[in-house]
Structure 1
Amino acid sequence: MKFRALMQDPMYMREFQAIVATLAKLAKECIMILGERQMHFIVNEDQSSTSSPLVWASIAAEEYFPEYRLETARPDQDYIVLSMSSANLSRALSVLRGGGISSCKLKLQRIQFPCISVIATVSSSAVTEDREVVHDVPVSIIPASDWSAYVVPRVPNSQLALCLPSVRLLRSLIDKLKNISPSLEFQASYDGELSVIATSEMSTVTSRFQRLVPRSLTGSEEGASCSVDSRKASAFFGALQLPNEEMTIAIEREQSIHLQIYVRQDVVLHSILPAVCM
C-alpha cells in the first residue's frame, strides 16, 4: 500500500491548505479517501456537537498534483481509506500559507506508526540550499471490510439551485439570524430570488437576495423551500477559509439544502444541511 502526491503551484497549495483548514474547524476527525483519480475528505456530524454539519471535499488529482501515485493493498481495490485528526493535518499544512514554499509532498508511510508525511520544500535567497519542513500526521488505515461506513455522500436530487455571488453577505446574515430562531427557512424561486426567514415568538425576519442565476433541475416552477438548523448553517459558513465568493445553494424540497463552493472546476466543497421538523 503506497501513496505519494506532489504539489508545486503556490496558489494550489494555499487552496489545498484552506480546504483542510475549513474541515478542521468543523470536526476533530476526518476521513481521507484516496482514489486513482480523486481525493476526498469527509467530516461527518460530530457526535459531541449538535451543530456540526456534514461536509466533504472532492478534489480531482490532476488539478493540484502533477505527480500522483497510488498503489492499493490488493489489485481488486481502488481506494485507500484513512482516518486522522483534521486539526493535526491542518497544522501540518499551515506551512503552505507562508512564502518561499517551492513544493509540497504528501506521502503515506510507516515510521513507528502509519502516517501521512507532509514534506514542504522551502527556498530562500539567503541560503544556497533548500530545506525541508516535515510533519508526520498519524493515521488509521480503514480495512476494506469497513469501507461501507466511509462512502462519499450522495448529492441530493434538488428541485432548484441558485448561484449566490457573495458568500460573505450570507455568512454575516446567518450569524445574526441564528440568535433569533433555532431554524432558518430557505425559499428559492425560479425567477432568481432567495429568501432566508427566521421566525420567533416575537417576530419574523425575512431577508431576500434577488436577481440570482437559477439552475432549475427537476419539478414544477413553484420553487422550493426547506427549513434547516440555524446553528449548523452558521457553523458551516463560520468555518469557511476559502477566498471564493460564489456559492450554489440547491434545495431538495422539505428534505435538505446542498451548499457547493467550486474552488475550481473539479475541486468542490460540499455541505448538506438536513431539514428540521417545524
Structure 2
Amino acid sequence: MRFRAKLLDITCIDHLSRVVSTLARSVKACVLRLSSDKVCFVISGGRGPVGGANIWCELSQSNVFDEYRIEGKDESNEIYLELNIEQLSRALKSALTAQVLKIKLTKKQGPCLTLEILLPTMTGAHRTVVHDIPVAVVPVRLWPDYQEPDMPEIDVSIYLPPLKLLKNIVDRMKTMSNFVTISANMNGELNIKLQTDSVTVTTYFKDLQNHHFQDTSMSESRDNDLTMCEARVDIRKFSQFVQGQFVPTKVICNVIDGRGLQIFLLHEDVSLQYYIPAVST
C-alpha cells in the first residue's frame, strides 16, 4: 500500500483543517477511507436506520490536493486507516501558514500517517516540521462496516436556519435539559423543544424551505404537508454539528419520525452527514 498527497494552496489547507477540527469535536477516533477520487472520514456507531455510520464526511480529492497518488490493497484501489482524529487536527492547525504540506503513509515503528510541513521563517529560509500520526490498517474483511450509509425512509426534509442562530438556541437549552425534540413538516415549519418537570421551552421557525428528493427515500405514507414529524435526541449530539469550524452553505435535516435525525452539511466539494438516533422518553 502506498499513499502520498501534497497541498500547496493555503486556502485548501485551511479548509481541510476546519473540516477535521469539526469532526474532532465529536470523537477521538475515526476511520480514514482513501480512494482514487475521494477522501472520507467515517465515524462508526451502532446500527441504525441509515446503517452503521454516525458521521460520514466526504471530500473530492481533486478539489483539495495538488498531487494525490494511491496504491491500494486490491483492484478497488482503496486504503482504510484507523487514527486519532484529534492528533490529525492538531497537526493540520500547525500547517495553517505552510508553503507546502505533504501527507503520506509511512512505516516507522509501525504504520503512520506522516505530515511534512514546510514553514517560512523570518530570515527567508525554511524549516520543516514533521508529525507522525500512528494508524492501524483496517482489514479488508471489516471494510463493509465503513461504507456510505444508506438513505432511510424519510418523513420530512427541511433546510435548517443559520447554524449561528441554532448554536445560540441550543447552548441555552443545554443548561436546562439533556434532551431536545426536533419536529418539522413539509410546510416549512420547524420546532425545537425541550421539556422538563418544571419548564417547557419551544423555539418556532416558519417559512423555511423543504428539500425534495428525486428518489423514493421520502416516505409515501405521509400525505399531509402540515403533519409534524419528530425525533427526541440527545442535545449534546445535536449541538455537535453547530459547534464546528466548518461553515456549510446548506444544512438539510431529515426527520425519521420517532427514530432519529439525518443531517447533511453541504459546502461545494464537502459533504458531512450526521445521524442522531432518537431516545425514548
Structure 2 length as normaliser, TM-score? 0.86
Query: Which residue pairs with 2:50 in the alignment?
Result: none
1:147 and 2:147 equivalent?
no
- For 1:252, the aligned partner's letter is I
Query: Which residue pairs with 2:72 in the alignment?
Result: 72
Decide whether the 8 Å contact of 1:32 with 1:82 is kept in 2: yes
Aligned length: 266
In 2: Cα distance, 1:206 partner to 1:224 partner: 15
Measured at CA, do residues 103 and 165 of structure 1 come closer, stay the same or move farther in structure 2, by a change above 3 Å? farther
Q: Tell me how large the CA RMSD over aligned residues is.
A: 2.2
In 2: Cα distance, 1:154 partner to 1:179 partner: 34
Decide whether the 8 Å contact of 2:70 with 2:77 is kept in 1: no
SS in 2 for 1:202: coil
Query: Which residue pairs with 1:42 in the alignment?
Result: 42
Deviates more, 1:229-238 or 1:186-195: 229-238
| Deviation, structure 1 residue 7 | 1.7
Measured at CA, do residues 112 and 246 of structure 1 come closer, stay the same or move farther in structure 2, by a change above 3 Å? same
| Deviation, structure 1 residue 138 | 0.8
Deviations 1:62-117 (A, max 9, x none): 1101321110123x3331110111111111111133x3x22212101112221111
Query: Which residue pairs with 1:267 in the alignment?
Result: 270
1:233 and 2:238 equivalent?
yes
Structure 2 matches for 1:17-32, cutoff 5 A? Answer: 17-32=17-32
In 2: Cα distance, 1:125 partner to 1:167 partner: 39
| Deviation, structure 1 residue 223 | 4.5
Q: Structure 1 unaligned runs (5+)?
A: 47-52
SS in 2 for 1:277: coil
Query: Which residue pairs with 1:224 in the alignment?
Result: 229
| Deviation, structure 1 residue 245 | 6.3
In 2: Cα distance, 1:55 partner to 1:169 partner: 22
1:201 and 2:197 equivalent?
yes
Structure 2 matches for 1:91-170, cutoff 5 A? Answer: 91-97=90-96, 99=97, 101-124=98-121, 126-127=123-124, 129-170=125-166
| Deviation, structure 1 residue 125 | 6.5
Structure 1 length as normaliser, TM-score? 0.87
1:185 and 2:181 equivalent?
yes
Q: 2:256 aligns with which of 249, 252, 257?
A: 252
Deviations 1:176-197 (A, max 9, x none): 2233333211111222121111
In 2: Cα distance, 1:157 partner to 1:2 partner: 39
Decide whether the 8 Å contact of 2:174 with 2:236 is kept in 1: yes
Question: Identity across aligned pairs (percent)?
Answer: 27
Measured at CA, do residues 81 and 248 of structure 1 come closer, stay the same or move farther in structure 2, by a change above 3 Å? same
In 1: Cα distance, 2:270 partner to 2:252 partner: 14
In 1: Cα distance, 2:172 partner to 2:154 partner: 27
In 1: Cα distance, 2:135 partner to 2:240 partner: 26
Query: Which residue pairs with 1:85 in the alignment?
Result: 84
Deviations 1:225-262 (A, max 9, x none): 22212232134433x12234642212122222111211
Q: Structure 2 unaligned runs (5+)?
A: 47-52
